[in-house]
């Protein structure tokens, strides 16, 4: 009985040591430059998509036929306070238009999140395993984080230069 207990304990220790070694190997697994490049490209793509959507929202406000930007800001400041809305004499058309803009604004985060998830899940773009690996490495290794951020900045700068030349 003691031998059986000792053997079971020894096996348990062996399995624990193996599991710990595998975990250490996973943690110590190096992030490649290719993985960092893919991650940075995905982040840059999401950032650019977000910038485009933000510009669309700004255009929606600036080119609005119901109110101008100053009136939009006045409504924005009063929104949610019925007394203030009455004080600024908001019309039903203005309420409807402001609500439409707010709905668009609120849906942006969902649209951006969906875009990011689709890029992460696409193995040709990045892949979930690579995303998780690089994201974890960024949290634990400042050097990896710096590389990713530098690449994202570089890609943004290159994109900005291309857009300026296209204009």
What's the chain look like in SS3? CHHHHHHHHHHHHHHHHHHHHHHHHHHHCCCCHHHHHHHHHHHHHHHHHHHHHHHHHHHHHHCCCCCCHHHHHHHHHHCCCHHHHHHCCCCHHHHHHHHHHHHHHHHHHHHHHHHHHHHHHCCCCCCHHHHHHHHHHHHHCHHHHHHHHHHHHHHHHHHHHHHHHHC
Domain match, 99 and 125 both: yes
Instruction: Evaluate if pTM is beyond 0.85.
Output: no
Residue 88: which domain range? 31-166
Domain match, 40 and 63 both: yes
Domain match, 17 and 78 both: no
Domain match, 83 and 148 both: yes
Domain match, 140 and 99 both: yes
**Rounded to whole angstroms, how far apart are CA atoms 19 and 16?**
5
pLDDT band at 69 (very low <50, low <70, confident <90, very high): very high
> What pLDDT score was predicted for residue 22?
42
Domain match, 106 and 162 both: yes
pLDDT band at 161 (very low <50, low <70, confident <90, very high): confident
Q: By percentage, how much of the chain surpasses pLDDT 70? A: 81
Domain match, 25 and 37 both: no
Q: Looking at the 3D structure of the chain, how many domains does it have?
A: 2
Is residue 4's pLDDT more than 50? no
């Amino acid at each position: 009985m003691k031998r059986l207990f000792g053997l079971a304990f020894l096996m348990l220790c062996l399995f624990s040591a193996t599991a710990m070694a595998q975990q250490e190997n996973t943690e110590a697994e190096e992030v490649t430059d290719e993985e960092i490049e893919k991650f940075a490209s995905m982040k840059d793509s999401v950032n650019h998509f977000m910038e485009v959507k933000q510009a669309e929202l700004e255009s929606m406000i600036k080119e609005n036929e119901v109110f101008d930007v100053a009136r939009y800001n006045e409504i924005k400041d009063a929104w949610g306070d019925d007394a203030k809305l009455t004080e600024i004499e908001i019309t039903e058309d203005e309420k409807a238009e402001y609500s439409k803009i707010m709905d668009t604004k609120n849906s942006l985060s969902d649209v951006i999140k969906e875009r990011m998830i689709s890029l992460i899940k696409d193995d040709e773009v990045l892949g979930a395993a690579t995303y998780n690996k690089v994201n974890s490495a960024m949290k634990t290794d400042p050097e990896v984080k710096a590389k990713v951020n530098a690449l994202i900045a570089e890609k943004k700068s290159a994109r900005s230069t291309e857009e300026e030349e296209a204009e």
